[in-house]
Chains A and B, each alone.
Chain A
Amino acid sequence: MFGINMAESGGEFVSPGPNSFDFSEVPLFHLGGLAVTKPMVQLVLGALVVFVFFYAAFRRATLVPGRLQFAGESAYGMVRNSIGRDIIGSHDFIKFVPYLVTLFFFILINNAFASIPAIQFPTFSRASMAYALAGLSWVIYNAVGIKKHGLLGYLKLQSVPSGVSPFMYPLLVPLEFFSNILVRPVTLALRLFANMFAGHLLLILFSTGGLFLLEYGGVGYVAGPLAWVLAIAISFLELLVQFLQAYVFTLLNAMYISGALADEH
């Protein structure tokens, strides 16, 4: 489509692609031989924002909360109660709450960077960063399960389905092991990455495409603004997706932990 337009006008529309996410050629600055790129800075910034927010909210925690403390408590309490307590269960959710809260808000703010002006890049569209979080959660839920059930007990819990005749085991055990131990971290990481990547790609496409159409003229005077209107609509959709992905990532972590802690499968 754009190729056809481009061929007629002689102008060059560079469609956004994986290159739009590659900052290795344009580092912001160098730190001891290490090229520091924009996503890296965002990652640190996101962590700072999360910590400063919660620290400020709870620095002078009072019985009757102020405005900031109320916001902090609502945010913390939402993850604590609706994800931690409801999924893991009130017996031993409390020690996972800091992890879940950190995870949720760290992902949320880094996703939200895609929509914050002047930053406008979702940190986790860099797959390696999502790999790190998924890897960490893989370590945590397996460690929790092994600590509770022992290595063999945990492997049995995760890979031997109950209520199935033993004749089905040769088929089901590898499948369960594959899906519960191997695939989970991969899907966790890639779900987050792919959603952020695709959403950002869409936004780039619609905004640069709209600009190109305006410059192209003719039918572009109608199509360009239309593309920008669509870009705005997609931005709102992205806000929803950003929240949803952070929520799903955290929720799945809680479910994996709760599954690893379960007594009977």
Chain B
Amino acid sequence: MQNLIFLAEGTEPTEGGHAPENPLGFVPVEFALSLVVFGLLLFLIWKFVAPRFEQTFAERTQAIEGGIAAAESKQAEADAKLAELEKQLADARHEAARIREEAREQGAQIVAEMRETAQAESTRIVEHGKAQIEAERQQAVTSLRAEVGSLATGLAGRIVGESLEDEARQSRVVERFLADLEAQTVGADNGTTPGSVN
């Protein structure tokens, strides 16, 4: 290197007694040593450090992702369960409503049925009563007719003093009497007073 000297006495920088080294100079020993040391370090890092780092890194990533996946599956499970429960609840509500509806219908039906039965029963009872009354009346009419006949004949026989023991005559007389009676009744309806009969 050329030293340009301004002003007066030049001083050669000869400290140490040897010519100044160019700082850019090539020193084979240092070059080789640097390559070797760096190469060795690179090999060691490559061999011992990098795989472990990548392994740990991958494991951690996997652990985190696995945790996330597990949490997600748990969440999905919980969601499914919740949905199922809600569905069940809805079903139960629906069922309850249905049962209530059914019960109401059934109740209405029962009431209607009972009302109908009671109606029928009352009708039947009324009919039965009517029939009984009719039958009793009929009976009474029949027995009355027989009794009235015998009473009347007895009474007439006693009055006319005539024995009416003859059956045929007796019955003919009664019949005639009754027919007269009936005709009288009809006549009474027309306002005519029946005459005394024999």
Contact = CB atoms under 8 A, between A and B. Distances in A.
Interface string A78-92: 001000000000000
A128 B29 CA distance: 9
Interface residues of B, number: 42
A102 B29 contact: no
B50 A19 contact: no
Contact of B60 (A21, A63, A76, A132): A63
A97 B23 contact: no
Contacts of A43: 33-34, 37
Interface in B94-120: none
Given A19-B20, A61-B56, A102-B45, A131 B38 contact: no
Interface string B10-34: 0001011110111111111111111
A44 B49 CA distance: 18
B30 A128 contact: yes
**Chain A contact surface mostly:** helix
Given A25-B18, A47-B40, A106-B38, A63 B30 contact: no
A93 B18 CA distance: 48
Given A101-B45, A102-B41, A40 B16 contact: no
A186 to B, nearest CB: 10
26 contacts: A14-B13, A19-B20, A19-B21, A24-B21, A40-B30, A40-B33, A44-B33, A50-B41, A51-B44, A55-B49, A58-B52, A61-B56, A63-B63, A65-B56, A72-B53, A98-B50, A99-B42, A101-B50, A102-B45, A127-B23, A127-B26, A128-B25, A132-B31, A136-B35, A136-B39, A193-B24
Interface of A: 14, 17-19, 21-22, 24-25, 34, 39-40, 43-44, 47, 50-51, 54-55, 58, 61-63, 65, 72-73, 76-77, 80, 94, 97-99, 101-103, 106, 125-133, 135-136, 190, 193, 197
